[in-house]
Structure 1
Amino acid sequence: MEWVVVVSVLVMTILSLLRVNVIIAIIAAAIVAGLMSGLSVVDSIEMLVSGMGGQASTALSYILLGAFAVAISYTGITAILVNYLIKVLTGKKTIMLLVLAGVASLSQNLVPVHIAFIPILIPPLLKLFDDMKVDRRGVAAALTFGLKAPYVMIPAGFGLLFHETIIKGMGQNGVEISLTETTLSMLIPGSGMIVGLLIAIFITYRKDRESIPGAGGGEVNFTAPVQGDVTFNKKHALTLVAITAALLVQIFTGNLIAGALTGLILMFLLLVVPFKNGDKVMADGISMMGTIAFVMLVASGFGNILTETGAVDALVEVSSGYLTDNQPLIALILLLVGLVVTIGIGSSFGTIPIIAALYVPICITAGFSPMATAALIGTAGALGDAGSPASDSTLGPTSGLNADGKHHHIWDTCVPTFMHYNIPLFIFGWVAAIVL
């Protein structure tokens, strides 16, 4: 039983590396996990389907955020940003990647659209990337950094949800900790991601690289959107009002769906987007984010099999058998377990409650401080988010970079982000658990 998680995650990873569609890879891994746990194929599928509801809220929020992003792009306000980026950054590859990482960071804490901005902002820039021979793996690394590092280190927007999840998970298992303490505990692991970003931009992907047609899995007839001259007007000002309202509602309610709905409804009520275009906005939003939302649903079903069959508990139990009173060794093993589990489930937010229930008793026995425990839980939850085929932190960048069929999800997004973020995150998280 203890090998179920490891084997099923390996199945998913190997199939994905062999360029099998990620949804098929996750379903195959889920069936393997079910069979190894003593379930039949039919029972495994039924458990997979029953567990898909675990990410229903996330999937719906992505669809609504996708529609909100489409409505924003309808006003032409994104064209102002794209035109400015093209004008200022042409010929400046390194600065461009840093700017993209910065823009992506805003999507987590300031303007909570998460990955929904990528399919709108990135496709118009693809021709510029090709003209400048930008290595798209570097762009993927920059975008993934912005989607992940801010919520790991900054307790606002998605970051607030992440840190509150850590606090709640620890509190339910007998260890109280404050928001300030979790924030401080995650600064060291988050710093590892900054190191990974700098290595990706200034060393690994600095050289020129030609994008190959069909590299993303097939030929795509794609014409980059034409960005005409757009001047700031009343419609854009009202769009900013809707974005601000969406942000405030999301912050005060802690609910992404409420925030996205607020922004979307205001776009129509303020007549920024005509009512007659409502169907098209929703259809385009579903088209943009539907695949990602469905992958998240299937990944939730896979996670349900791993948890309901006791496979995760068995893995931790076996791992704890190798634990001694050596805190560095304990931290190392716990982080390895977190890496495997999170890659399988694909969601740091969904993994933390599971990890907290398993880690807190071990950390208490081993004498870890509350802040060290928070660092272990937060790092273990974040590990595998970058690099997982089923993570929105990798699916999002691919959705924009593969618009023209020249960017492969696994080899051009997952592998580069795994190398540059999970490795330093692991090392810095391990250090944090020891020194805090």
Structure 2
Amino acid sequence: MRVLLATWGSRGDVEPLVGLAVALRGLGAEAVVCAPPDEEFAVLLDRAGVPLVPVGPTVRSVTAGAKPPTAADAVKLASDLVAEGFGTLAAAAEGCDVVLANGMMAAAGARGAADRWGIPYVYACYHVRGLPPRKIAPEAGGEPAQDAADKAHWEQGRRAIAMFEEALGSHRAGAGLPPVEDFLDYVYTDRPWLAADAVLCPAPPERTDIDVLQTGAWVLPDHRPLPDGLEVFLDAGTPPVYVGFGSMATASPGDTAKVAIEACRALGRRVVLARGWAGLAPIDDTDDCFVVGDVNQQALFPRVAAIVHHGGAGTTTTAARSGTPQVVVPQIGDQPAWAAGVAELGIGVAHQGPTATTDSLTSALTAALDPRTRTRAGSVADAMRTDGAAVAAQLLLDAATTHRPPTSV
């Protein structure tokens, strides 16, 4: 049995697919991951022993350049990624029994690759904001904040659809294929998968227009030891605060590090500072700050007092599973929604806006470090399921066997 898994996005998009690939291997299936050619993704897949087929440009070249991408850049990227479906993805899908795509950036091309060989196709996302927008604009009538979020999701989704729909139509016409009648049904299907924990990110019950299949989060087990220097640092005092923004290229890395370190010092806490794509660095030579690169978060997070991060799906899930309180400073995309979920569950604090000040972060950390927050975080961690990747792997093999996507867990 051979499975093709496709995505285009940051590490938070790639790593869950690697976790799913490892779970598939445990069931005797071969999985191939199509993902961006960023070096850290290649290292990640190599460490897991999963084959990588590079797709599209590196994510860093698009998101972490000197200037933010323009609307014209986005249109070109959409066209290029759809073209990959007729080239790289189609070639990689030959001999496969099922194709799964994560997110819009890979889905249109991946669906075309599945159609090329007549094999089942599954669309998956890591948050409810990745589910297909409604075909009709949502009506107001609930909480104002939720109404505004639903409207923004619908508007963003429609803009993305228009961009990819045009690219797909152009490439299909060039290949002599008929146009797609309904882009939403074609790319998202009427049974999208939600690869997120039901406690942390439940499927929306009001979405009666689609049959959401929630598998649980796909977590890649990490068995790497922590660096010796970090072990010494952790053992040398009270638990520090972890600060990291992953693949987010913050506007002013120096200011971000300064605010974070000063806020932790204001509360008498040491800091584990993750460089990330922003290149965060210490602000002085004081020994209360330890800098890490790529580190085993699964091993580190249970040993810190609080976790300050950007609210990516993977980091939020790992933090929640650790039982450690969080402060989410959301930057883009679905991150504000993850922040809101963390706050609603009482396992941490949602920072208001993407730019923290020393005062605002100190205040947020004070609330997160309250013993009641840690108690609640531990209770939620105990309630989260740990078999999401295994569940999804079995469902994919069932889909390959029956030649149709499954409808329930």
Higher helix share: 1
How high is the TM-score relative to the length of structure 2? 0.24
